[in-house]
Amino acid sequence: MTGERILVVTTDAPDARLRKRLRHEIPEGAEVRVVSPATKVSPLDWLTGDEDDARAEAAEAAERTAEALEGKAEVQVDRTAQSTDAAENVRDALRQFRADEIIVVTGSNGDDTWLEEDAVAEALSAHGVPVRRVEG
């Protein structure tokens, strides 16, 4: 084991190309925690509290990301981290998991506006942990 601890933050289930890329980026034997915020909630759904679909999609993204790393790393999915507040998810994960690095995984669909939020940028940088982006 490398002993490296990596927090992977994703909102998209990786396609075959992104799975391959992610496997290449994660060192053999690393300890990985996957966090998937439920960012794909419409304003109307957010107002009415109907976030179930977004949470289910986030859970699937986390599981498929973890599956992509099976046999390469020790992977744990943070099942408590499917809040619609991505910054809160990152802060909570870093309180519980002392990461050496954060990898933000984004798909090629360009649906990653959550990354542009100031609160998310602050949460990613506040702990002094290097942040890297892996795009599909």
pLDDT (average), residues 7-26: 91
Query: Which domains does the chain carry?
Result: 5-135 (3.40.50.620)
pLDDT (0 to 100) of residue 1: 47
Rounded Cα distance between 79 and 62, Å, is 8
pLDDT in tens, 30-53: 999 999 988 776 555 555 556 777
pLDDT in tens, 58-103: 889 899 999 999 999 999 998 765 677 788 888 889 999 999 999 9
Reduced DSSP (H G I as helix, E B as strand, rest coil) percent helix, strand, coil of the chain, to 5 = 40, 20, 40
Q: Can you give the pTM of this predicted structure?
A: 0.85
pLDDT (0 to 100) of residue 90: 87
3-state class (DSSP) for residue 100: coil
**Structure-token match 């602050």, residue found:** 122
Residue 54 has pLDDT above 70, yes or no: yes
